[in-house]
Amino acid sequence: MLDEQAFIKDLLDPKTQNKAFQTLLSSYQKPLYNHIRNIVLNHDDADDVLQNTFLKVFQHLKNFKGESKLFSWLYRIATNEAITFLNAKAKRNGMTSENFQQKQIESLKADDYFEGDEIQLKLQEAIATLPEKQQLVFKMRYFEELKYEELSEILDTSVGALKSSYHYAVKKVEEYMIKH
Partner 1 sequence: MNSFNLENGPKIKSGFKTPEDYFENFSEQMLTRINTDEKPVRSIFQKRSNWFVAAAAVLIVGIAIPFLNKSGNNTSIDGESLENYLAYQSNISQYDLVNLLDEQDIEALESDLKIDDAVVESALSDNTNLENYLTE
Query: What is the binding site for partner 1 (CB under 8 A)?
Result: 18, 21-22, 25-26, 29-30, 33-34, 37-38, 41, 43, 47, 50-51, 54-55, 58, 108, 113-117, 119-121, 123, 142-143, 170, 173-174, 177-178
CA distance 97 to 69: 30
Residue type present at position 3: D
Nearest C-alpha neighbor of 71 from the set 142, 1, 3, 17: 1
Q: Give least dist CB 140 to partner 1, A.
A: 12
Q: Which is nearer to partner 1, 96 or 120 (CB)?
A: 120
Q: Give least dist CB 16 to partner 1, A.
A: 14
Q: Give least dist CB 94 to partner 1, A.
A: 27
Q: What is the DSSP letter of 66?
A: S
Nearest C-alpha neighbor of 75 from the set 43, 127, 33: 33
Q: Give least dist CB 26 to partner 1, A.
A: 6
CA distance 4 to 7: 5
Q: Which is nearer to partner 1, 92 or 180 (CB)?
A: 180
